[in-house]
Amino acid sequence: MNRQWALLWKFLLLSFLCFSLIACKIKNNTPSALLEADIVDGILPLKVSFSAQKSVDTDGNIVNYKFDFGDGVENVFTSSTSSMSSTATHTYLSAGEYNAKVTVTDNKGATATSQNLLIKVVRSGAGEIEFAAPSYSGNGCPERSIATALAPNNQAISILFNNFTASAGEGTATTTIAGTTGASTSISSESKKCILSIPITIPAGFSVAVFRFDYRGFANISNGAKGTLDVKYSFSTNVLRSFNHNFSRAPSNYSNNFTFTHDVSSVKALWSECNQKLKLQIESDLNVETNSNNDFTTIILDSIDGVNAVTYYLGIKPCGASSSDTSKIMAPIYLR
């Protein structure tokens, strides 16, 4: 009898040990899921590259990735197909805030879902930027010499110079300057300056830059006379950008309407700070100097056939986006 009990106890003990070993052997650790993105805010249409490559399974391997982009679209990648991938790309086509996440499944069927990754998408176009009436000063734009008009939604502004003119030569006041030979030569010259300060409101988390300047007007430059337009601009900071246009003529005369453009690449552009409220300050200088004959010379920034004298083209990008990544930059917005 005792022998039978001993055998029974041995059987139960072996059974328990065997069950315990099997249970330990089949135990499965839950994987961990982590979702990352190359950009989390931007302008429509916003293309985002997602990665779940940092998701891990300590006692096996992940065989399924289910990306939920938060806008009703899902991508599923599984090892049973040739499309297995731990990365996904998605383009958001509507403005809003979206909670993206990924769910991973390991080779033993355990699943884990990442924390939500918030993606913010805003509308494109000037609807996301608002302008206010500009202030101006300088002898090239005295009081009431600039016409400005805001669109009803404050999303566009028109600027027209009425008296931005620099003239020299016959019929104008003359200034004596030193000649190239050191002798005193009577040559007429004039400089006119206009400083525009344009208040701009941009979405939080975004930055703006001026991509292009269009200037229109009339110039009468005699043979040997000189004329320049010098422009400096900044966004509420001490950082400046500048360029100039030379109207000087030799050996022939020039008397006609003009239009010229100054383009700035996104990489070389002056991007504003990530402030919601800022000011675009543009300082324009017209300079003319007549020839030795004191022939009349003038440059006028004004309207040609009802078209505004100056157009500024602005671009906008998320603050975290590289200025060289043109896919993240929306342009242009017009300041006409």
Whether the per-residue pLDDT at 155 is higher than 70: the answer is no
In this predicted structure, the answer to whether residue 328 has a pLDDT above a threshold of 70 is no
pLDDT for res 304: 47
Average per-residue pLDDT in the chain? Answer: 78
pTM of the model: 0.58
- Of residues 266 and 192, the one with the higher pLDDT is 192
18: tokens are: 């065997």
Write down the pLDDT at residue 125: 46
Residue 161 CB partners (closer than 8 Å, separation 6+): 140, 141, 145, 146, 194, 301, 302, 309, 310
Average pLDDT (245-269) is 78
Sorted by where each starts, the structural domains of the chain and their CATH numbers stand as: 36-122 (2.60.40.10), 126-335 (no CATH)
Nearest to 243 by CA among 208, 268, 271, 278: 268
pLDDT for position 154:
59
Radius of gyration of the CA atoms of the chain, in A: 34
- Phi and psi angles of residue 12, each rounded to the nearest 5 degrees, phi first: -65, -40
DSSP of 83-113:
T--SEEEEEE-S-EEEEEEEEEEETTS-EEE
Classify strands 96-106 and 87-92 as parallel, antiparallel or unpaired.
Answer: unpaired
Q: What would the pLDDT profile of 179-227 be if each residue is shown by its tens digit?
A: 544 444 445 899 999 998 988 888 777 888 887 787 888 899 988 899 9
For residue 282 the two structure tokens come to 């543009």
Among the residue ranges 9-23, 30-44, 138-152, 247-261, the one predicted with the least confidence is: 9-23
